[in-house]
Amino acid sequence: MSTIPFLDLRAAYLELKDAIDAAVARSLDSGWYILGSEVEAFEAEFAAYCGVAHSVGVANGLDALHLALRAMDVGPGDEVIVPSNTYIATWLAVSQCGATPVPVEPDPATHNLDPARIEAAITPRTRVILPVHLYGQPADLDPILALARQHGLRVLEDAAQAHGARYRGRRVGGHGDAVAWSFYPGKNLGAVGDAGAVTTNDPMLAERLRVLRNYGSRVKYVNDERGWNSRLDPLQAAVLRVKLAHLDTWNARRTALAEAYTRALAGVDLVLPTVPAWAEPAWHLYVVRTGRREATQKRLAELGIGTLIHYPIPPHRQDAYADLGLPPGSLPLAEQLASEVLSLPIGPHLEPRAVEQVAEALQRV
Ligand SMILES: *Cc1c(COP(=O)(O)O)cnc(C)c1O
* pLDDT tens, residue order, the chain (365 aa): 459 999 999 999 999 999 999 999 999 999 999 999 999 999 999 999 999 999 999 999 999 999 999 999 999 999 999 999 999 999 999 999 999 999 999 999 999 999 999 999 999 999 999 999 999 999 999 999 999 999 999 999 999 999 999 999 999 999 999 999 999 999 999 999 999 999 999 999 999 999 999 999 999 999 999 999 999 999 999 999 999 999 999 999 999 999 999 999 999 999 999 999 999 999 999 999 999 999 999 999 999 999 999 999 999 999 999 999 999 999 999 999 999 999 999 999 999 999 999 999 999 98
Residue 85 Cβ < 6 Å to ligand 1: no
Question: Which numbered atom of ligand 1 lies nearest the CA of 195?
Answer: 7
CB 330 within 8 A of CB 316: yes
DSSP state of 139: P
Q: Where do the H-state alpha helices sit in the chain? A: 9-15, 17-29, 37-50, 61-71, 89-96, 141-151, 203-212, 234-244, 247-264, 293-302, 332-340, 352-364
Residue 2's pLDDT is 59
Q: 21 C-alpha to center of ligand 1: Å?
A: 26
pLDDT at 83: 98
Ligand 1: atom nearest CA of 90 is 11
Q: What pLDDT score does 36 carry?
A: 97
Give me the DSSP letters along 154-218. Answer: EEEEE-TT-TT-EETTEETTSSSSEEEEE--TTSSS--SS--EEEEES-HHHHHHHHHHTBTTEE
113 lines ligand 1 (CB under 6 A): no
At residue 365, the pLDDT reads 86
How many angstroms is it from 182 CA to the middle of ligand 1?
5
